[in-house]
Amino acid sequence: MRKVIYATGLVLTMASMSSCKKYLDIVPVGKVVPTTVEDFTKELDAAYAIADLDKGIASYRGDEITVNEAKSRDVDLVSNNFLWNENGPTKGLTFDWRGKYQRIFYANHIIGAAPAATGGTEAQKNQLLGEAYLMRAYTYFNLVNLYGNAYNEATAATDKAVPLIIEVDMEKVARRNTVKEVYAQVQADLEKGLSLVNKDVYETALSYKFSKTAGWALAARVYLYTHQWDKALNAAKAVLDKKNTLIDFNNSTALPTLYNSIESIQAYDLNYNVVTIQTAFVSDNLFALYNPLGDLRLKIFYGKDKNNKNIIAKINTGNNYRQSFRVAEMYLIAAEAAAQLNQPEVARDYINQLTQRRLTPAFHATEQLRLSTLAGKALLQEIYDERARELSFEGHRWFDLRRTMQPEIVHTLKGKATTLKAGDPRYTIRIPMDAVASNPLLNE
């Protein structure tokens, strides 16, 4: 009897996890290659099922978290990243290099084999293929922002990032591609994926999947990071034309980051586990960005710990807190892109539409007046601060710090201060040592 590949039926092992010289190694465990659209859809579901907590781990490197040292058993698990030494002496949480390439493997297999699949309609096959392209684009986007330098037009062609593997090849030993090459592949996959997906949105229960709207949200983010301001603005507008509703915190206490929020565009990522969320207090730096009287997010986003002393985020673990793209981010992308295009009135309008639903009416009126005086670098800084306020604990802050100012950050742990200098090379994470040990080309 033909058997379908499930998550437990196809085991993909990175070369970093084996002693062989191959970059990838596959163990089929008695399963056969899928042949129908239904089979390939189940394979794609296996890719979606791969957990990835990397953005939650990376958030410890930024300026929105201080460590809850009372969680003594967990402090060592986060300290390497909190102190910007991910390959440090303690056995801590590590970034999931293997899991990301496992997802890429699934996407590559579907892209290569699913065009010949039987069964299903042409629309179903196109949606399947489009999602695979978008998944590959999103995964490489996250990889290049962890392991490659922040995008810089002047150096992207020489800055090393991660290996690009876009087909199933068990014998290939891969070198690191450049930041420019990785982003070129991300954008090619974006364009192909958007040309194929035909579901504007998925119903809430399936909202972890890539839809047309989610694809445009990814495009907006990618174009923002690569300084393609016109494209970023247009992509954000394309999303907001389909979905633009914001929760009004003046009459609702609903968290916008829940998977079933009216702001949710795609609910795929789960950024935190028990260790990373319980070991995190809100930093003084982040808390100081909010107005304590007029910003309603302080009550919606945060609470107090059991000692009623330290501020904690209400984002938690569990599938209810899955979020990859939401409406508020699109307003912020549109605002930043417009500001970069020297369209300050447009930028201010997008910010005002967001903050009208986040601030008390009286404080919002005051903020409108203040915002009306800002332009140029001051307006951009305000947008960066607004991103920090609105998107806190959603996996954006470390990436935002990398791609903008790369400021100096000081972290204190167990009474000792450690400094990440402005523009520090540690703004780029080192490829895991076990991966390099198995594939020395990654060290070039």
Look at residue 171 in the predicted model and tell me its pLDDT. Answer: 63
Measured CA to CA in angstroms, residue 31 lies from 1, 48, 287 at distances of: 10, 19, 52
Query: Do β-strands 325-326 and 409-413 pair in parallel, antiparallel, or remain unpaired?
Result: unpaired
* 303 φ, ψ (degrees, to nearest 5): -145, -165
At 243 the three-state DSSP class reads coil
Total count of residues recorded for the chain: 444
CA dihedral 29, 30, 33, 37 (to 10 degrees): -90
Q: Which amino acid makes up residue 352?
A: N
As a whole number of angstroms, the distance between CA 159 and CA 23 comes to 22
* 343 φ, ψ (degrees, to nearest 5): -120, 70
As a whole number of angstroms, the distance between CA 264 and CA 272 comes to 18
Note the pTM of the prediction, 2 decimals: 0.92
Q: What is the pLDDT of residues 146-189, one digit of tens each?
A: 999 999 999 999 999 999 999 987 667 789 999 999 999 999 99
Q: What is the DSSP string of 388-432?
A: HHHTTTTT-HHHHHHHTT---EEEEETTEEEEE-TT-GGGSPPPP
Strand partners for 409: 420
DSSP H/E element including 314: none
Residues of the chain with pLDDT under 70: 1-32, 170-171
From start to end of 201-307, where are the E strands? 264-266, 280-282, 302-304
Average pLDDT of every residue of the chain: 91
Look at residue 211 in the predicted model and tell me its pLDDT. Answer: 98
Q: Which domains does the chain have, with CATH numbers?
A: 1-53+99-198 (1.25.40.390), 57-95+199-444 (1.25.40.390)
What is the torsional sign of CA 198, 204, 206, 211?
Answer: positive
As a whole number of angstroms, the distance between CA 301 and CA 57 comes to 19
As a whole number of angstroms, the distance between CA 393 and CA 271 comes to 8
As a whole number of angstroms, the distance between CA 179 and CA 162 comes to 8
CB count, 10 Å around CB of 281? 21
Look at residue 4 in the predicted model and tell me its pLDDT. Answer: 30
Look at residue 3 in the predicted model and tell me its pLDDT. Answer: 30
Measured CA to CA in angstroms, residue 111 lies from 44, 48, 105, 136, 193 at distances of: 11, 15, 10, 10, 10
Q: Which amino acid makes up residue 308?
A: N
Look at residue 283 in the predicted model and tell me its pLDDT. Answer: 98
Tell me which DSSP letter residue 431 carries: P
Contact 265, 217 (CB under 8 A): yes
Look at residue 170 in the predicted model and tell me its pLDDT. Answer: 65
Distance of CA 26 to the CA centre of its chain: 27
Strand partners for 36: 118
Name residue, tokens 């009372």: 70
As a whole number of angstroms, the distance between CA 299 and CA 280 comes to 18
Contact 190, 215 (CB under 8 A): yes
Look at residue 2 in the predicted model and tell me its pLDDT. Answer: 27
Look at residue 206 in the predicted model and tell me its pLDDT. Answer: 96
